[in-house]
Chains A and B, each alone.
Chain A
Amino acid sequence: MDKSEANVFLDAKGLNCPMPVLKTKKALDSMQPGQILFVEATDKGAKADISAMLKRTGNELLDAGEKDNVFTFFIKKV
């Protein structure tokens, strides 16, 4: 997926657990269903943690990647 497809952007780089998860959820709560959130995080646990939060809140992880130690997520608000 490309960044241009996202509606909301969240930079959680440099933040540690649990902040990337909390900020991602806060961003999702402020969005309309169907909108897409793009998140960047450097926390090593972010991939597992954000995935777990999405599973429990019913939001959809569309795409995830990693480049130069930055994890990226495209999330659809359900």
Chain B
Amino acid sequence: MEEKKKKRMAIIASKGTLDMAYPPLILASTAVAMDVEVGIFFTLYGVDIVNKKKYHSLKVAPIANPAMPSPIPFPNVLGILPGMTAMASMMMKSMIKKINWPSIPELMDVCLESGVKMIACTPTLEMTGVSKDDMVEGVEVAGAAEFLDFALDANISLFV
């Protein structure tokens, strides 16, 4: 198996909500388990997923999300009320716990330990005033060309 060139997956993670943080990390950790080389480029709001000050407390946006499960019938427009984002996030966290899913920081550890290449987008850091020191240990900082160089040799490319 060693001589064979590894398959490669390149993902762009552009969303910073709790629900949208899972797909890139789940696909990445699973792909590594399938002997695939993986790189994730975190850009725009997606940078929050690798921000160690924020990745413990990512939130779910209930507004404009009619698929958000609710214990009672609930007009989506009420999502603008104060406290709704916190409530939706709490609900999502309890659902995640119920199915024994790892938290985002735990999943991030799995990915980094197994060698997933993580790149945070430099202009996003510049724009939001976030420094490289705010990034989870092991996350690199680079721009579009670095991602494209990696992605040009990828078998799978995803934009999340």
Contact = CB atoms under 8 A, between A and B. Distances in A.
Interface residues of B, number: 14
B35 A21 contact: no
A52 interface: yes
B26 A18 contact: yes
Interface in A6-38: 14-19, 21-22, 24-26
A53 B34 contact: yes
Contacts of A69: none
A15 B98 CA distance: 10
Nearest to A52: B34
A16 B99 contact: yes
Given A22-B29, A22-B33, A14 B100 contact: yes
A16 B33 contact: no
Interface in B30-64: 30, 33-36
A36 to B, nearest CB: 19
A14 B26 CA distance: 17
Interface string B84-105: 0000000000000001111000
B110 interface: yes
B33 to A, nearest CB: 4
A contact residues, range: 10 to 19
Contact of B30 (A14, A16, A18, A58): A18
A14 B97 CA distance: 12
Contacts of A15: 100
A52 B33 CA distance: 11
A56 interface: yes
A53 B33 contact: yes
A46 B29 CA distance: 16
B55 to A, nearest CB: 19
Interface string A35-74: 0000000000000000011001110000000000000000
Nearest to B4: A58
Contacts of A17: 26
Interface string B2-29: 0000010000000000000000001001
B1 interface: yes
Given A14-B100, A15-B100, A18-B29, A58 B34 contact: no
Interface of B: 1, 7, 26, 29-30, 33-36, 99-102, 110
